[in-house]
Structure 1
Amino acid sequence: MKNLIICRHAKSSWDDPFLDDHKRPLAKRGIRDAPRMAQRLKDRNIIPDLMVSSGAERAKATALAAAEILQYPEEKISFTDELYHASSGSILRTIRHSPVDVNTLFIFGHNPGLNDLIEDLGGNIDNLPTCGQFGFQFETNTWNEVGRFNAKAWFFDFPKNKTQIQD
């Protein structure tokens, strides 16, 4: 069994409209929401074996906030620009290259790629909001075999969610 947690970066700041998009930091709301959402995962005993994040500042900050709450060593987070505005297929390729000994993988990235990936894997979602999380479980022992055919939607959660939707 493999567990995938898809995490969209927290709310980004638009205080400087001329700032390069890759360097855009978190807004106050994002700084507040990122640790809260990580705590929800911790409360459900969902702990990463590996965290992979887009290299964009807002995704990195979201991953680092989660790592702190989940007591995951920040030096073990894999930051890659390959996830920056990546397509569903590119994100899936990254997932499929994960080490076999990783059972719970967290991916931090951006829409529309994350939305498309969720839909491609059979998840039912209109939009993954900022700092939203969508979990899948896969009936396989290797990441290179994950796909729609063995995916089961596990949960969907986001900052304004009061019920923590379960599938």
Structure 2
Amino acid sequence: MKKLILVRHAKSDWPEETDDFNRPLADKGLEEAKRMSSFIKNNNVAIDRFVSSPAVRALTTCEIFNESYRINVTTDEKLYNPSERNFESVIYDLDDSHHSVALFSHNNGISNFANSMSEDIFHFPTCGVAGFEIDCHSWSEFNGANKKLLFFYEPKKI
């Protein structure tokens, strides 16, 4: 069994003359990310690896989560402005030694990808976190594997 954790970046800001890629987190987003990362760590959500979009708001969210986990973080361009196939491509590239991986990305792609695996999720709020159990031994088996929603956390509800 593998576990896939999807994390939408926390609330971002959009200062004047800042392009989309370089948007920072808003103060509220910094607080959300700290609160959510502590919440999932305290609820024993095991994660072996973080893979983040390289965009500032997603990577900063990932780095805040990593203050609780202290694990290896990598970035992947495919998680910036992603389609469902982008997520699958990142998953197929994962090392099978990682049993529980968190992907940090953006909407609408992350909501669409989560909805392709479960009918229980409709829209990811900022800093929303969903966990799925993937019935496979290798990430290369992801596409044909059964997927089960384990949890869906929203900052306003924790």
**What TM-score do you get using the length of structure 2 for normalisation?**
0.95
**Counterpart of 1:11 in structure 2: which amino acid?**
K
1:114 aligns to what? 110
The equivalent position to 1:154 in structure 2, one of 130, 141, 150, is 150
**Counterpart of 2:29 in structure 1: which amino acid?**
G
Structure 1 alignment gaps of length 5 or more: 163-167
- Cα distance, 1:139 vs. partner? 1.2
Provide, for residues 72-103 of structure 1, a one-character-per-residue CA deviation record: whole Å limited to 9, x for no partner: 2xxx2111222101101111110121101100
1:8 aligns to what? 8
Contact 2:50–2:73 at 8 Å: present in 1 too? yes
Alignment of 1:16-165 (within 5 A): 16-72=15-71, 76-147=72-143, 149-162=145-158
- Cα distance, 1:12 vs. partner? 0.2
- Cα distance, 1:149 vs. partner? 4.6
- Cα distance, 1:47 vs. partner? 2.6
Contact 1:121–1:147 at 8 Å: present in 2 too? no
**Counterpart of 1:156 in structure 2: which amino acid?**
F
Q: Kindly report the root-mean-square deviation, in angstroms, between the aligned alpha carbons of the 2 structures.
A: 1.3
Contact 2:76–2:90 at 8 Å: present in 1 too? no
Contact 1:8–1:114 at 8 Å: present in 2 too? yes
Contact 2:62–2:104 at 8 Å: present in 1 too? yes
User: How many pairs does the alignment contain?
Assistant: 158
Contact 2:136–2:145 at 8 Å: present in 1 too? no
Q: Secondary structure at the match of 1:77?
A: strand
Q: Secondary structure at the match of 1:141?
A: coil
**What TM-score do you get using the length of structure 1 for normalisation?**
0.90
CA distance in 1, matches of 2:113, 2:39: 23
CA distance in 2, matches of 1:77, 1:88: 22
CA distance in 1, matches of 2:43, 2:3: 13
Cα 1:148–1:121 shift into 2, 3 Å: farther
Structure 2 alignment gaps of length 5 or more: none
